[in-house]
Amino acid sequence: MAKTLESSHKIFKSGCQVERYRLAAEGMKTLIGFLSVIAVELLQLTYLHRTHPFVPAIEILNPRQLRIISAKSPKLPKVLTVSWAVQAIPRLGGYLEHPRNTPIGIQVLWRGWLKLHDKSEGWQLARET
């Protein structure tokens, strides 16, 4: 439990960068509510990546999100797993793989996650018109 709280705090502080926002109390409550949902999604994604990397990605992503990531991925594995998704999502946020294979941090995963949600929302809006 303590490790989960630590991870959640790290996602809030590093990924969400919640400390950079300067809002009045009501605005901050709304922002924290919004960011909490995203932080929980990222916590779930990183936890599954550590504990069950070969679970199908459909367990954590919806079909539209999978199609978006697949379209942006240079090479697709036969089975789309959580491990694959955790490597593919940061690329949406600008992560470039280095020869030294630097680990994916929470900030770049956060940026990719936000891009994925933006693209997913855009896809939905385009289909509705």
pLDDT at residue 72, rounded to an integer? 80
Looking at the structure of the chain, the number of domains it has is 1
pLDDT at residue 9, rounded to an integer? 60
Residue 97's region, left for phi above 0, alpha for psi from -120 to 50, else beta, is beta
In which domain, by residue range, is 68 found? 2-128
CATH code: domain of residue 91: 1.10.740.10
* Contact (CB, 8 A) for 89 and 116: yes
Q: What is the 3-state secondary structure (H, E, C) of 85-98?
A: HHHHHHHHCCCCCC
- Which ranges of 1-129 would DSSP assign to H, the alpha helix? 2-10, 25-51, 63-72, 82-92, 106-128
Q: What is the mean pLDDT of residues 82-108?
A: 81
Residue 1 confidence class, pLDDT cut points 50, 70, 90: very low
Q: What is the pLDDT of residues 25-46, one digit of tens each?
A: 666 677 777 777 777 888 888 8
Q: Is the pTM of this model over 0.85?
A: no
